[in-house]
Amino acid sequence: MLTSFGRAFRTPELRNKILFTLAIMALFRLGSHIPTPGISFDLVKKCQEAATGSGSLLGLANLFSGGALLQLSIFALGIMPYITASIIVQLLTVVIPRFEQLKKEGQSGQAKMTQYTRYLTIALALLQSSTLITAARNPSSILGGSPATCSTIMPDDSIPTILIMIITLTAATGLIMWLGEQVTERGIGNGMSLLILTAVAASVPQSIWAIRDQGWGKFLIVVVMGLAITTAVVFVENSQRRIPVQYAKRMIGRRSYGGTTTYIPLKVNMANVIPIIFATSLLSLPMLVAQFQGSSTNPPKWVEIINTYFARGDHPLYMAVYTVLIVFFTFFYVSITYQPDEVADNLKQAGSFIPGVRAGSSTAKYLSYVLNRITTVGAIYIAVLALIPLIALALVNANQNFPFGGASILILVGVGLETVKQVDSKLQQHNYEGFLR
């Protein structure tokens, strides 16, 4: 591995791509520590010291921003508006015929879909920045703690200052989106994914080191278990079901074409981290609604129930509902993004077939049968990973961004493996031995 890294840096083209990618990642981290105009960084630190914790949705958003959200820096929104916009556009492909047509138009259609994603990202950034600034006027609602110890973080909350803050946060989101696209075009790997990886990896040392305060014995046990979990995740993320496909032979003149055998790869985890995002967002809605009633002296019964069972993720009822939602959203997302009927039609038009299965509807039914079995395993796998941070929260008092489970480990392993494969392919283009052997 180290030898391959040395070969990569000895290749001028590849070295420039890697250095450019690292420079963009460093710039992204720098922006996460620059305070937003109108926000007092000293008051933010004071509120964070007195905080009791944040909601799971804010915890997830803060994870994807590399800790910038709860610091209210210029990159506070992070990559979340783009992720949300990408998911919305992808889901609308099934609903809106125009989007479905663009998806089939190849590169030109994909460019148009990307343009729509950019517009939606800016619109969501405006909405989320306005919401964040409104919440920042009552900082205890997002940073935790009591209003007495965290009364304000905005010395000037006039309308012009608020407008400047909203414009700054929205422009910073557009800059992040542009940086990610530059990495995709001129660097190594997918730019947006690498920026998410940068944000998640930035919180890993602090999350692990916080466990050391509970003793070196518990710290070593967590690290060993973390390495075992990471190994298992790498194994599963590389696992796939290969469905054989046979191309029929055709005689054109005196030459024979076709007759080759290939396969359709179906990953065990086809939904990736999306079910965790959906489930966490949905479970956070009751807490957000309850916050409007939680400050009253005599809150309604339903507010007490939400505060009792859903305020912390280590409650058994919360874990049960969380697991059910993850399994549901895994099947939901896979059913939308992977269409067995479309795959069967493409195979039929290409003159290929699955050995032992008739072309057409029989192929679609067979693909659906295999896909449901794989998705079941994948849903259980994602649910188990998602529960690891919640269990760690109960056992070792870790935070909800515990790096050896949930969205963190899926992003770190998934993006890391994909980037290594791209570097390996670049090395092989220069007749060098790659990373993967």
Q: With helix as H, strand as E and coil as C, how does 26-59 read?
A: HHHHHHCCCECCCCCHHHHHHHHHCCCCCCHHHH
**DSSP per residue, 98-138:** HHHHHHTTTHHHHHHHHHHHHHHHHHHHHHHHHHHHHHHTS
CATH code (residue 315): 1.10.3370.10
Q: Which of 202, 219, 247 is the last residue of a domain?
A: 202
Residue 171 has pLDDT above 90, yes or no: yes
How many whole angstroms separate alpha carbon 28 and alpha carbon 40?
21
- Decide the pairing of beta strands 250-252 and 255-257: antiparallel
Give the total number of structural domains in the chain: 2
Quote the pLDDT of residue 388: 84
Q: Which of 103-112, 155-164, 169-178, 193-202 holds the top average pLDDT?
A: 169-178
Residues 139 and 219 in one domain: no
**Where does the pLDDT of residue 349 fall: very low under 50, low under 70, confident under 90, or very high at 90 and above?**
confident
> Which range has highest mean pLDDT (61-75, 109-123, 301-315)?
109-123
More confident residue, 253 or 305: 305
d(CA 76, CA 128): 10
Over residues 104-116, the mean pLDDT reads 83
Q: What percent of the chain has pLDDT over 90?
A: 13
Residue 307 CA to residue 304 CA, distance in Å, equals 5
If you search the block for the tokens 């729509």, which residue do you land on? 116
Confidence of residue 120 (pLDDT cuts 50, 70, 90): very high
Query: Residue 408 has what pLDDT?
Result: 83
Residue 430 domain-assigned (yes or no): no
Query: Does 158 share its domain with 175?
Result: yes
Residue 426 lies in a domain: no
Measuring CA to CA, how many Å separate 371 from each of 102, 220, 362? 26, 39, 14
- 227 & 124 share domain: no
| Beta strand extents in 188-338 (DSSP E only) | 240-247, 250-252, 255-257, 261-267
Residue 5 located in a structural domain: no
* Residues 177 and 291 grouped into a single domain: no
Q: Please tell me the predicted confidence (pLDDT) of residue 121.
A: 92
Instruction: Tell me: pLDDT of 379 over 80.
Output: yes
31-37 average pLDDT score: 84
DSSP one-letter string for 341-381: HHHHHHHHHTTEE-TTS-TTHHHHHHHHHHHHHHHHHHHHH
Is residue 25 domain-shared with residue 136, that is, in the same domain? yes
For residues 161 and 247, membership in a common domain is answered with no
Q: Is 15 in a helix, a strand, or coil? A: helix
Q: Is the predicted pLDDT of residue 71 greater than 60, yes or no?
A: yes
pLDDT tier, 146 (very low <50, low <70, confident <90, very high otherwise): low
* pLDDT-based confidence at residue 91 (cuts at 50, 70, 90): confident
Q: Pick from 164, 187, 202: which residue ends a domain?
A: 202
Tell me the chain's radius of gyration from C-alpha atoms: 24
The per-residue pLDDT for 297 is 60
For residue 230, tell me if it sits in a domain.
yes
- Residue 234 pLDDT > 60, yes or no? yes
* Residue 123 included in any domain: yes
238 and 296 inside one domain: yes
Residue 6 lies in a domain: no
Same-domain pairing of 153 and 298: no
pLDDT, mean over the chain: 79
pLDDT at 436: 52
Q: What range defines the domain where residue 383 resides? A: 204-404
**In this structure, are 245 and 343 located in the same domain?**
yes
Q: Is residue 178 part of a domain?
A: yes
Which of 178, 202, 226 delimits the end of a domain?
A: 202
Q: Within this chain, do residues 228 and 179 fall inside the same structural domain, yes or no? A: no
Q: Which residue has the higher pLDDT, 421 or 164?
A: 164
Token duo for residue 268: 């065990």
pLDDT score, position 61: 67
> What pLDDT, on the 0 to 100 scale, is given for residue 400?
58
11 vs 141, which has greater pLDDT? 11
| Within a domain: 416 | no
Q: What is the mean pLDDT of residues 298-315?
A: 68
Q: Are residues 110 and 219 in the same domain?
A: no
Say yes or no: 352 and 222 in one domain. Answer: yes
Give yes or no for residue 144 having a pLDDT over 90: no
